[in-house]
Amino acid sequence: HPHFAEIIGDTIRLRNQYCPQAKVCVLSNSTMIHRQSVHDALMLVDDNILKLDTVNPQYINKVDRPNGTCDVQTIIDRMKAFNGHIIIQTMFMRGQYQGESVDNTSEQYVAPWLDVVRQINPQQVMVYTIDRETPAHGLEKASREQLDAIRDRVIAAGIPCTASY
């Protein structure tokens, strides 16, 4: 939104006035965090939750299908700029889409993602899987065992992590 920073400012002002114990949380797809005004506004919220489903550019283009270009390295660099005031949310799934695998639970995807998560050093990581029917058929939930294994690797890296099934 072109007035994102102002909206966050108003939200925090109203929270402070009417419900100071409430947390202000923002969940973002991370695509606009390169804008300084967006970064500054997210630094003001209690929970700055940013999506990072993979660090593989081909996977992003195949699955997320962004409008225009999506430079994952810029997103990673900007996530680092939050200096830990960030919660990373990642969706893991399996299955096929248009005859191609969309499984990001394999070591090919998890190991590089985990390396980047360590570099970003977030306050927390949330891993989850598909929760409802998707428009694309052939997508499957990551298993509880897969999510738990990924969660445990994040925790072993010294970063709090939750898994939702």
47 neighbors 15 (Cβ within 8 angstroms): no
Radius of gyration of the chain (CA): 17
Q: d(Cα 87, Cα 52) in Å, to the nearest integer?
A: 10
70-109 pLDDT tens trace: 789 999 999 999 999 999 999 999 999 888 899 999 999 9
127-144 pLDDT tens trace: 999 988 887 888 999 999
Q: What is the pTM of this model?
A: 0.93
Flag the least confident range among 60-69, 70-79, 106-115, 150-159: 60-69
Look at the block and give the residue holding tokens 């550019």: 57
Neighbouring residues of 22: CB distance < 8 A, sequence distance ≥ 6: 15
